[in-house]
Amino acid sequence: MKNDNWWRGAVIYQIYPRSFLDTNGDGVGDLPGIVEKLDYIAGLGVDAIWISPFFKSPMADFGYDIADYRDVDPLFGTLADFDRLLSKAHSLGVKVMIDQVLSHCSVDHAWFKESRESRDNPKADWYVWADPKEDGTPPNNWMSLFGGVAWRWEPRREQYYLHNFLASQPDLNFHNPAVQQATLDNVQFWLDRGVDGLRLDAINFCFHDAQLRDNPPKPKEKRVGRGFSPDNPYAYQYHYHNNTQPENVVFLERLRELLDQYPDAAALGEISSEDSLATTAEYVTDQRLHMGYSFELLTEDGSAAYIRATVERLEAAMAEGWPCWAVSNHDVQRAVTRWGNGESSPALAAQLVALVCSLRGSVCLYQGEELGLPEADVPYEALQDPYGKTFWPNFKGRDGCRTPMPWNDETQAGFSHGQPWLPIPAEHRAINVARQDADPSSVLNLVRGFLAWRRTQPALRSGGIRFLDASEPVLAFVREDEGQRILVVFNLSARAVQWPLPDGIVAEALEGHGLQRATHDGGTLSLPARGVYFASIA
């Protein structure tokens, strides 16, 4: 598959704007802060940025509850600030992707305010409304991902409305063609403004089962969620009816028709279903989404066997589509903590970036990943995440991966002149950007060097992938593009290991990636702790 598009093999840097850089002293990051740090971002060697929601919102879910899809919340700045951001990013050769939350909005959205007033107003059927059962209980057994039932009573209509997430995030009724068109019009507003792509939040949640059938129960031994607390009652069901409906595919094809009017624009879908890999393969085609990613590598299991099995299963299902991989984002515990087993060394942090950037597909790197930030321990009294407050203390929520970026040794680590919305832990301050910038062996400089080197290796950006048999903790595979074959080997442990090269493989080590390098003695590789081996294969 030729790499004719900027997004194919791209490294996309996710910015959580609340926590990136605050320029007005209110303790919350903003769009001017992103503008100020665009040179830093471009210097990382990434191809694009993805900005989490900055639209008008009451911030019940920190921007993922949108009250106006076409305007910037004053907390983050103005439309003029966004235009300035877009212009500067493009001048630096960096593409801009924005989050689009299509399946639900805020209770403060004008559409919902009108819809909830009566059963016969022009927006009456724009949300998922349902009558109660005879005993007054909700129409079915669907659960909210954020805890409790997925239905909220509205006395003005004497009906329930559906919310797959917070009760303040009502689900839009995509069975209504007018809702689909209004959604596409909102997307077009940003495409016309010049954005290069969309990250589509929870994109498989747009449609629900029109018959409102109950979800079947899930056996206790299978209640292992991806991206949510295992003690969450959401895990007690198979979610066959409240998301991932057949009609969603048809809508994605309408969305793709719109995107194809902007030849360089790309859509990346976030997909979380009962079989996320199968749904990703179904959604990512030449007629639907350009890329898709799921929570499959955002789990506790960072073993070589699990990574191989996950990638191979998607590869088998997605013969023609293009995946995107991530090991960290704003919804899960940071990777160096999740996969490090108490280790948070620079070698581990750099290796994790190299690993995700060596799989077939595009890559999402989350802000702070280039610094090797561990998960922050946010005390209960400082929690902001409603998800964490609901499930405390069994699950502390998502605040630990959302704490502000540490830029320097100044007050509040250079993030703000005011009190940050979340505390900045001492261990983050100690590995701030300024300190790492001055240290040639820092995670930051290792990541910069690796990403620059990756750009020179076509097989790593756009080639196919074939795994080789290896025992834990070794992960080995071959990336192959026209004219180039690269052997890639990772030691995913904190101890040195040896790995015999498979028969018939003649490899010559590639230099310049800057990571913990293996040595090659005859037919055996000696891999140091967190060691890697990139080699050209004849």
Residue of 61, 154, 270, 385 with catalytic role: 270
Q: Which of 470, 496, 473, 160 is nearest to 487 (CA)?
A: 470
Q: What is the pLDDT of residue 520?
A: 83
202 φ, ψ (degrees, to nearest 5): 45, 50
Listed in order, strand segments (DSSP E) in 140-232 are 151-154, 159-162, 197-200
User: Nearest-CA neighbor of 272 among 315, 341, 329, 312?
Assistant: 329
Pairing of strands 95-100, 68-72: unpaired
What is the structure's pLDDT at 538?
84
Distance CA 46, CA 29 (A): 21
Q: 480 an active-site residue? A: no
Query: Is 275 assigned a catalytic role?
Result: no
pLDDT tens for residues 92-115?
999 999 999 999 999 999 999 999
Tokens 């299509």 locate to 102
pLDDT score of 228: 55
State the pTM of this model. Answer: 0.97
Position 1 scores a pLDDT of 42
pLDDT attached to residue 341 = 85
Distances (CA, A) of 131 to 42, 144, 155, 243, 252: 52, 18, 11, 20, 29
Buried b / exposed e along 422-461 (16+ C-beta atoms within 10 A) = bbbbeebbebbbebbbeeeebbbbbbbbbbebbeebbbbb
CB contact at 8 A, 191 and 262: yes
Alpha carbon 245 to its chain centroid, in Å, reads 22
* Per-residue pLDDT at 521: 80
Give the residues of the chain that fall short of pLDDT 50: 1-2
Residue pair 402/19 in contact (Cβ under 8 Å)? The answer is yes
Locus of tokens 């129409």: 139
Residue-level length of the chain? 538
Q: What is the pLDDT of residue 343?
A: 84
Q: Kind of pairing, strands 324-325 and 291-293?
A: unpaired
pLDDT at 205: 98
Q: What pLDDT shows up at residue 229?
A: 61
Domains belonging to the chain, first-starting first, are: 11-105+177-373+425-454 (3.20.20.80), 463-537 (2.60.40.1180)
Rounded to whole angstroms, the Cα distance separating 259 from 188 reads 8
Across the strands, what pairs with 480? 464, 485
**Of the residues 81, 154, 171, 201, which is catalytic?**
201
Specify the DSSP class assigned to residue 172: B
User: Is residue 56 within 8 Å of 104, Cβ to Cβ?
Assistant: no
Radius of gyration over every alpha carbon of the chain, rounded to an integer in angstroms: 23
The 8-class DSSP code of residue 415 comes to: S
Q: Please answer whether residues 95 and 196 qualify as being in contact, where contact means their C-beta atoms are separated by less than 8 angstroms.
A: yes
